[in-house]
Chain A
């Protein structure tokens, strides 16, 4: 199965700053990569699908890029509600797999 490695494990930033989260796949997943946000005690929420497409209702400050094995989730200007754990997920090969997550915390 495809292994996704996210970096960094934890990032500390302040509201208003730019966040850049990375996800690397053990083999090419083409553009079949998604990003999810999970807050404590809540279910994950789909943010980005197929590398760069925002899901319904997701603010424009969230953007995704990349293809093949290297992907990035960018939050252009952090809002207080953006501090959460972010997971990448591939659907290129079965089974679908997730990265281990990046925790975005308030500095």
Chain B
């Protein structure tokens, strides 16, 4: 069965960096686009970034452009989110999610991880 497991969250000071990981299993990771979606405390869902199946296309929400970098390593069945210059507004639970469309990203999220919490605070 499909499983996504995030890790790497924690408490970090403003301006510092953090790298999140998403380990995938139960499907052919290299065939699917993958996303990061976040949820601030008590708030709704916000799409953050997507990476195509082959890593050649990456897109970000405006608020993280230039600060966050999405990547993947298909040899490890793992996706990453490198977060630099973190701000208080980045505080959230970060979920990785699979896009069910083969190769290209259709902007749908059919399987989600359990999330990893990121707190940006001094």
Residues of A within 8 A of B (CB): 32, 34, 36, 38, 42-46, 49, 55-56, 87, 89, 91, 94-101
One of B46, B61, B106, B114 near A91 (C-beta < 8 A):
B106
CB-based contact B112/A44 at 8 Å: yes
Q: What residue in chain A is nearest B60 (Cβ atoms)?
A: A95
A96 near B107 (CB under 8 angstroms)? yes
Residues of B within 8 A of A (CB): 44-47, 59, 61, 95, 106-115
Q: How many A-B residue pairs have CB under 8 A?
A: 50
Chain A nearest CB from B98 CB (Å) reads 10
Q: A34 CA to B100 CA in the complex, in Å?
A: 13
**B47 and A49 form a contact (CB under 8 A):** no
Contact A44 B109 (CB under 8 A): yes
